[in-house]
């Protein structure tokens, strides 16, 4: 790829053929060029050279599902063919109705081909492949992500039944956390727009802020109730309550404020409280609260997955499928370990209830024995008094 940054956003496809602009393209050496929260318009240019003997259809796949606007240009006999799509457009705007933004290319036409992107968060994640190769990759990703969503639904259903039976608030908070996190992930990977709301792209941006606010809210509530912070450590309790408030503000702002603000909000908010949650778990573990061990392990995997993903984005680690899905894998382990902690929490309550029952039973037995002893002593005293009275009367 050759990359050109258009800071003013004023260039057209016809401008790019002029020498003064054509020579300003710079060769890209990154696997996935990441422009972050840049307000500029970015152009990518590439050429094709067909070394294949077959005439199979080839596709360019734009794999960053959260790109606001993607415009693809290819040369035809009548001029430039322009296809504009992105997550701000309904699925009907796509040339091929899939999660990724797919564009057909003719392997016998060398190009140039152009891709223009603009939006709040910008990445140029492009791959080239045949229809079969793209379809195989999509099937593998659907299978992988299907495992995550399947675990999420199963864990939520199981703990919802437990909540109806026990009325345990941590189980309800866990269920709401799991479901809203699954919606956030589904939206982030393009499933919500593709399958749930294909005609309403509102969820692609503002909906992402809404789902982020919801899962962050229920995560903090889960931490408060699971770790019993209100009773055991009021300072940690009020610290989490602060992030309950910020998460609620994020939910409200998703309906009224632009996504350019909300995307920074939804990124910074968990970055601050996730370490607080981890610290609270470590604190309760050191205080001897046994279920907190599962809590620490669960969020330890989530933190590890997040760190690996950051290192991949920074180019320190290779961009393999496992590393790119590290955060998803971390959350998957998180979803399994937290119910184990909930089960241990319930077992601990039963053990303490049994200990209390045994202690009460022993106290009752001791009281009964003492009562019998006191009755016997009192009876003896009465008998002595009776004997003394009888002796006095006889005298």
| Residues 247-277 pLDDT 10s | 999 999 989 888 888 888 887 888 788 888 8
| Average predicted confidence (pLDDT) for the chain | 83
Instruction: Give percent above pLDDT 70 in the chain.
Output: 86
pLDDT range class, residue 113, cuts 50, 70, 90: very high
Q: How many CB atoms lie within 10 A of CB 62?
A: 22
Would you call 119 exposed, middle or buried from its count of C-beta atoms within 10 A (0-12, 13-18, 19+)?
Answer: buried
Tell me what pLDDT residue 9 has: 83
Judge whether 46 and 77 are in contact, CB under 8 Å. Answer: no
Say if residue 346's pLDDT is above 80: no
Give the Å distances, CA to CA, from 184 to 181, 254, 310, 380: 5, 13, 19, 79
More confident site: 388 or 7: 7
Residue 376, pLDDT > 60, answer: yes
Give dist(CA 341, CA 165) in Å, integer: 18
Residue 298: pLDDT band (50, 70, 90) is confident
Q: What's the pLDDT at 351? A: 65
pLDDT of residue 236: 86
Q: Which residues contact 301 (CB under 8 A, 6 or more apart)?
A: 329, 330, 333, 334, 337
Cβ proximity of 208 and 184 under 8 Å: yes
CB atoms within 10 A of CB 71: 17
Average pLDDT over residues 82-91: 90
Using CA of residue 381, residue 383, residue 386, residue 391, what is the dihedral sign?
negative
pLDDT, one tens digit per residue, over 164-219 is: 988 888 889 889 999 998 998 888 888 888 888 888 888 888 888 899 899 889 98
> 2-32, pLDDT tens digit by residue?
999 988 888 888 888 888 888 889 998 888 8
Residue with more model confidence, 390 or 327:
327
pLDDT at 115 exceeding the cut of 90: yes
CB 72 within 8 A of CB 83: yes
pLDDT at 221 over 70: yes
What predicted TM-score, i.e. pTM, was given to this entire model? 0.80
Q: Cis link prior to 239 (omega < 30° from 0)? A: no
Q: Tens of pLDDT along 136-161?
A: 888 888 888 888 888 889 889 988 99
């Amino acid at each position: 790829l050759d990359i050109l940054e258009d800071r003013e956003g004023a260039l057209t496809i016809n401008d790019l053929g002029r020498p003064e602009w054509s020579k300003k393209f710079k060769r890209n050496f990154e696997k996935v060029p990441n422009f972050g929260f840049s307000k500029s318009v970015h152009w990518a240019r590439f050429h094709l050279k067909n070394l294949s003997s077959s005439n199979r259809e080839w596709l360019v796949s734009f794999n960053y599902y959260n790109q606001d606007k993607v415009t693809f240009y290819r040369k035809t006999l009548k001029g430039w063919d322009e296809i504009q799509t992105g997550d701000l457009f309904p699925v009907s705007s796509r040339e091929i109705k899939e999660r990724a933004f797919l564009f057909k290319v003719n392997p016998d036409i060398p190009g140039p081909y152009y891709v223009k992107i603009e939006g709040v968060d910008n990445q140029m994640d492009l791959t080239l492949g045949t229809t079969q190769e793209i379809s195989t990759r999509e099937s593998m990703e659907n299978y992988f992500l299907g495992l995550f969503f399947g675990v999420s639904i199963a864990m939520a259903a199981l703990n919802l039944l437990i909540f109806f039976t026990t009325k345990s608030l941590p189980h309800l908070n866990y269920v709401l956390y799991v479901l809203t996190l699954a919606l956030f992930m589904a939206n982030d990977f393009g499933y919500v727009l593709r399958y749930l709301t294909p005609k309403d792209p509102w969820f692609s941006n503002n909906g992402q802020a809404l789902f982020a606010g919801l899962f962050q809210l229920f995560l903090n509530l889960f931490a408060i109730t699971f770790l019993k912070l209100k009773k055991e450590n009021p300072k940690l309790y009020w610290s989490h309550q602060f992030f309950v408030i910020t998460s609620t503000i994020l939910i409200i702002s998703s309906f009224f404020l632009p996504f350019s603000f909300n995307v920074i909000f939804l990124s910074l908010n968990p970055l601050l409280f996730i370490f607080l949650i981890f610290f609270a778990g470590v604190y309760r573990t050191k205080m001897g609260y046994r279920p907190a061990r599962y809590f620490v392990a669960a969020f330890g995997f989530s933190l590890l997955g997040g760190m690996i993903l950051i290192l991949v984005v920074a180019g320190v680690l290779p961009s393999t499928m496992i590393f790119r899905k590290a955060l998803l894998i971390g959350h998957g382990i998180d979803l399994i370990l937290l119910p184990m902690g909930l089960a241990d929490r319930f077992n601990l309550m039963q053990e303490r209830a049994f200990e209390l029952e045994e202690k009460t039973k022993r106290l009752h037995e001791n009281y009964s024995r003492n009562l019998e002893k006191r009755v016997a002593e009192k009876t003896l005293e009465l008998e002595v008094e009776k004997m003394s009275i009888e002796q006095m009367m006889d005298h």
